[in-house]
Structures are given as structure tokens and as C-alpha cells.
Structure 1
Amino acid sequence: MAAGTDATAFPWPPGVATGVGSLPGDDPAEAMRIVIGELPDFPHLVELPAAGVGADMIGRGAAHLAELHVEYAPSGWRFTQRPGGDERRARALLRRDLDVLEEFTQGFRGPLKIQCAGPWTLAATIELRYGDKALADSGAVRDIADALAEGIAEVTRDVSRRVPGARLVVQLDEPLLPAVRAGTVPTASGFAMLPAIDEQVVRERLGVVLTRIADTDAVPVVHCCAAGVPIDTLVAAGARAIGLDVTLLAPADDDSLGAAVEKGVRFFFGIVPSTEADDLPTVAESAAPLRRLWNRLGFPAEELARHVVTPACGLAGASVAWVRRAYRRCVDVGRSILEAPEGW
């Protein structure tokens, strides 16, 4: 079911900005200090891939899989029969980062975002014990969705206990979802492509996880910073908000995006480069692609402030200085939308 249009269903204030999740470095306290300092109205849990195996996107996602076990092999993550050191490390890193999140959000009241890889990106990446990627096995995909739904619900409840004043937003990162739908995910050997997955199956498996998130009273979000985001599928699966890179949208996406907005779905609009450029665009330059999009859609200018401004994607490949500048630019753009909508 699509989200309703009641603005009270969304915990973030108008004209707000947040981050996608990943940041450079391996010190969670330093990363959270930046997040709280630059994004005080809508902070997020940090992800630090530079911390090594288990801190990467897939390892962090696998740490949420209830009753499924993984290990890190030369070819990447794969399922195994019993827990081992790699899995224990991934789960320990998640607990460590949650401890730091709790430390820095004492007394916080407002929207707080956590995130992990979604079921389709995990299925397109993690290999079965003997064979291809889990995406090739419909039963394995079902197990991943069920395990992720239970695991992320438990993490969400844990964060609610740790930060009782927070209104939680749970983001599933699905960068490989367009490839799953298009049939361009390579096999484990790399010599062929796995078949495209039917839209109904994509919707159903994703819906299992999104519904479970909603059952915890958190807002379920799906983020995809690749081109070709299947907006209609995400809305039908139960995403209450969708994160994407505005610069990758094409006019062909307008109908789906406009229909989603009319159904009350919110967007996390990625507008600031996630990797360093010679010069950070000005507020007006950063906002220009979003302004053009909103003008094409024809919605009232003041309604744009209901949505969220973010970097285009995760910032793990940037410097700390760029992270600070990117977050500040997102905040400035959000504020400009709120304070002077007609100037758009």
C-alpha cells in the first residue's frame, strides 16, 4: 500500500537535510561528531567501510540477517552453515557503532535514521555455499528477505530503547536493484548474467522487509543512487520515502515520480556530489537540478520543503573536509527551499 498524505506520518521538519550513511575513516566517534555537528535536526547512524571486513555495506547488511550465517571468502561474502569470525566481526562492528550512536544522541528528540543493505542488493552480492549468487535461487532470496525483516526489526527496537526520544527512519540501500530488474547482475563466475527478476517478485520480497519496518513504527525508506530507480515498484512495495540521485533522473522518470508524490511518498533528493570536486557548487548551482525537476512536475513550490535534501550518495570515498562541506551545503539548500520557495 502507498503511504498516506498525512504530514504527521513523517517525523522530519520541513526543509531538512540528512546524510546517506557511509563516511570516510574508521573512527565511529569522530564520524558521529561530524554528523551531530552538521546535521543536528536529522542525524544518522554512520557506516565506515574503511574499518575493514564486516564494516562494508554487504557485511553490515549481513549482520542484520537473523539466523543466517556468512563468511568472507576471496570472492567476497558467502553463506555458511555456522557463525564464524567474519560474521562475529560484522555483528560486533554494528554493536560498536550503535553504542557510539547512543552516546552521541543522549536526550535527542526528533528524526534519526539508521540504514543497511536491502534484500535484493544482498541477494545479488552474497554467494551460496556451493554455487552461484543467492539471486539465482528463489528460495535463498526468500530466506534473505525473511531474515533481514526480523533482524532489522530487532535493531530498530534496540535503537528505540537506546534513544527513546527518536522517531526512527530505516533506510534500505538497494544500489543493485535496477540491475536485478534488468538482468545485468553477473553470475559468480562473471561469464554470464543472471536472469531478470519479475517485478512482482521484487515487490513482494522487498515488501516483506518494508512492512516489518513499518510494524516497528519506523518510517521505511529505500535508497538507490543508481540510474533507473524503479519508483513504481518501490511505492507498491510499501516505501514511504525514496532516496535517489537527482542528477541521474531522466524526463522518462517524471510520471512515476509525480505519481509517487501525489500518493504522499516523500523523497530524499540527492543533490550534492558524493566525491570531491575542485569547487563545491553554490547553493543555487546545487539546487538547480532539483529546481528543474520540480518545475517539470508542476507541484507548488512550497511543497518541496516536505522532502529531504541529501548528498547524491554515500561519502565513504570523500575526505572529512568534503563531508563537512557537503553536509553544510545540503543544509543550506534545504533552508533555502523552506525560506524562499517562490524564489525557485
Structure 2
Amino acid sequence: MAQTEGFPWSPGAATAIGSYPGDDPAEAVRVVLGELPDLPHLPELPARGPGADLAGRTAGLLVELPVELQPSGWRFADRPGRDVRRAHDRLAHDLDALEELAGGHEGPLKIQVCGPWTLAASIELRHGDRALKDRGAVQDLIDSLAEGVARHVAEVARRVPGARILLQLDEPGLPAALAGTVPTASGFSRLPAVDAPIAEEGLRRVIEATDAWPLVHCCAPRVPYGLIRGAGAKGVAVDLSVVPERDDDAIGETIDAGVALFLGVVPGTDTVLPALQATAAPARALWRRLGFPEAGLGEQAVITPSCGLAGASPRYVRAALERCREVARTLHEAPES
């Protein structure tokens, strides 16, 4: 089946958000390749501990901005130490597994990093407040992250030379940063809101640092679709269960602009999955409300779990990914009239 013009995947594709249970990178890659052959991704295993978590994994990519782990979380440090080395080692093991098992893969391959605004809200300054509080520190972080992500994309491309790399920036904290609801380190106050043009420019600088196909994942309510599009993202990944109908206009504009939607329709933790058509129904309902021909749903939308799968059991992970694949196929091959 030929891939859709403008998108690097074939119509009817499914993928996952990123995180998986367990601590075996090779097994996780095998599951991904087996269950998501059309759009596999590099799995993340946060159960291994600090340095494998969303913030720590990406903080390890920062160039000339070392971090260390404190009881309160990740903090900028004077020099690289064991925490950075541990993050590097865990990512290296992941890439070794990817190269061994998927080195011959040809086609789209997704990798994930923490976006700049969620990262700035997760790392503390040396004196203990969040980096998000200090505009200069945020700019330094964005510069460092852009350089580190570019190196990471190049390394993945070297190990899987036939891949068309998709870069997912995970920004669950972006709506809170824009709304001014990110708590201070003490928790007694809130940090000032980030102006939308500044947030957009920060995302753009990371996106434009590489030639990877960019998308932004935000599983929180109040997804800033217009800002994400303006930053240059070609895809937006959301948890469809928390998307209110009041977002319909913004989503419709996103579809009209040719931006792909990664729709989370399968629960990310163990549950009894509903029937196939019931799982597909929210995606169909969205497209129908917006008035777009349903024949385009399987081309412009990619089906995913609602969020990461780190809290799921291995058995459920396989069932959830299989269901994502089935939903994607039925939305493309059997659109309802």
C-alpha cells in the first residue's frame, strides 16, 4: 500500500506514544516491531529508574548543561556525574537493541524526547527553583536541547540508515506553562505564564534543529493546536478521551492545514477492551462532527494508545497495540458512509 503524499507512513497506520513496562530494551523493541510494523518507534522503559524517565532521559541529551538527581528531582549541576552517565548508558542500551533488531528497517521510525517547556518545568536551577522561572535559563536549555536532539536524531539515523525518522516532542506540561499553573518548587505558589509567542518560538527552535518529521504529543486538556502548528509541527498527538468538543474548531483548522492527528483511542492501562467498532467510534465521531470525508480519516490520522504504556502489564500492551492496529485498518479500509 503506497504511503500518502505528504505523510511518511502508509494509510491505516498505528503506533504508540513511547513508554513501555519492564526493563528489557530488546524485548520491548521486538514487541514494537511485531505489533506496529508500519510505524514502529523506539520504546522507553522508565521502570529502570532515574535516567530512564521522561525528563532524565532527555536531560541526558543536553549539551554542556549537566544535571544531577536530587531528592526533589532533576537539577542543573556544575559538572557531569553518575546520574548523567547512567542516563547515557541506558539510552545507549536502547539504541544498541534498536540497531540489532531494527537496523535493516526501511520506512518511518519514531523517536521521542521531552519538549522544552515540559523539561523546563521539570528541571530545577542550582538554587532549587524550576528552570521555567528564569527566562535566561530557559533559553540556554532550549539551545542545549536543540543541539542534543540534533545529535540524537543523527545517531539514530546512523544506526537505522533506511529509516525516515519522526521526532516526537512530549509536551504534557505545555498547557500548564501557558496557563500559569505550574507550581513553584515549594508548591506554595505558581510560576508566571509563558507568553504564547515565546512558547511557540522555543518549540520551533528544537523542531528546526533536525530534518526529522516533527510532531508534538500533549495528552493534557487544553492542547494549543494553533501554537503547535505555528512552531512547525506536522503532527499533533492527543488523548481523544480528554479532548472536549469546544476544541473542534481548532482541530478542524489543524486538519485543514494538512497536519496529521495521532489519536489516542485505546486505554493506556489494563482494562477490558471494548469491541473494535466501539474503540473506533470516537475517531469516527470527531471526523463526522467536523464535516470531513471519512475516507481521509485513515490517511491523516494515526491511531495510538491514549498515552504511554509504562503502567500496563506486558500482556495488555500486546492486546492494546493489536487493537490500535485493528482500529487503524478499519478506519482506512472500511469507512462508514
TM-score (normalised: structure 2): 0.97
Partner of residue 247 from structure 2, selected from 239, 245, 253 = 253
CA distance in 2 between partners of 1:272 and 1:330 (Å): 7
Q: Deviations over 1:175-206 (max 9, x none)?
A: 11111111111001111111111111110111
| Letter paired with 2:314 | V
Q: Secondary structure at the match of 2:61?
A: coil
* Corresponding position: 1:293 with 2:286: yes
CA distance in 2 between partners of 1:59 and 1:131 (Å): 17
Task: Quote how far apart the aligned CAs of 1:261 are.
Answer: 0.8
Q: How does 1:53-202 map to 2 (within 5 A)?
A: 53-202=50-199
Q: Deviations over 1:140-159 (max 9, x none)?
A: 11111111111111111111
Aligned partner of 2:275 in structure 1 is 282
Q: Secondary structure at the match of 2:215?
A: strand
Aligned partner of 2:324 in structure 1 is 330
Aligned partner of 2:226 in structure 1 is 232
Task: Quote how far apart the aligned CAs of 1:342 are.
Answer: 2.9
Task: Quote how far apart the aligned CAs of 1:276 are.
Answer: 1.1
Gaps of 5+ in 1: 1-5
Task: Quote how far apart the aligned CAs of 1:7 are.
Answer: 4.7
CA distance in 1 between partners of 2:4 and 2:62 (Å): 32
CA distance in 2 between partners of 1:108 and 1:236 (Å): 32
Q: Deviations over 1:257-278 (max 9, x none)?
A: 111111110011110000111x
Aligned partner of 2:307 in structure 1 is 313
CA distance in 2 between partners of 1:283 and 1:20 (Å): 20
Paired residues of 2:237 and 2:264 also in contact (CA < 8 A): yes
Aligned partner of 1:3 in structure 2 is none
Task: Quote how far apart the aligned CAs of 1:252 are.
Answer: 1.2
RMSD (CA atoms): 1.1
Q: Deviations over 1:133-172 (max 9, x none)?
A: 0000001111111111111111111111111111110101
* Corresponding position: 1:17 with 2:14: yes
Q: Deviations over 1:189-233 (max 9, x none)?
A: 1111111111111101111001113xx2x1011001111111111
Aligned partner of 1:45 in structure 2 is 42
CA distance in 2 between partners of 1:161 and 1:239 (Å): 23
CA distance in 2 between partners of 1:226 and 1:315 (Å): 16
Q: Deviations over 1:61-109 (max 9, x none)?
A: 1012112100000000000111000011111111110111111113211
Q: Secondary structure at the match of 2:5?
A: helix
CA distance in 2 between partners of 1:150 and 1:267 (Å): 27
Q: Indicate the percent of aligned positions where both proteins have the same amino acid.
A: 56
| Letter paired with 1:179 | A
CA distance in 1 between partners of 2:94 and 2:321 (Å): 20
How many pairs does the alignment contain? 334
Paired residues of 2:68 and 2:83 also in contact (CA < 8 A): yes
Gaps of 5+ in 2: none
Q: Deviations over 1:223-264 (max 9, x none)?
A: 011111111110011111010011111111111111111111
Aligned partner of 2:235 in structure 1 is 241
Partner of residue 296 from structure 2, selected from 300, 303, 328 = 303
CA distance in 2 between partners of 1:107 and 1:53 (Å): 31
Partner of residue 35 from structure 1, selected from 32, 43, 52 = 32
CA distance in 1 between partners of 2:151 and 2:274 (Å): 40
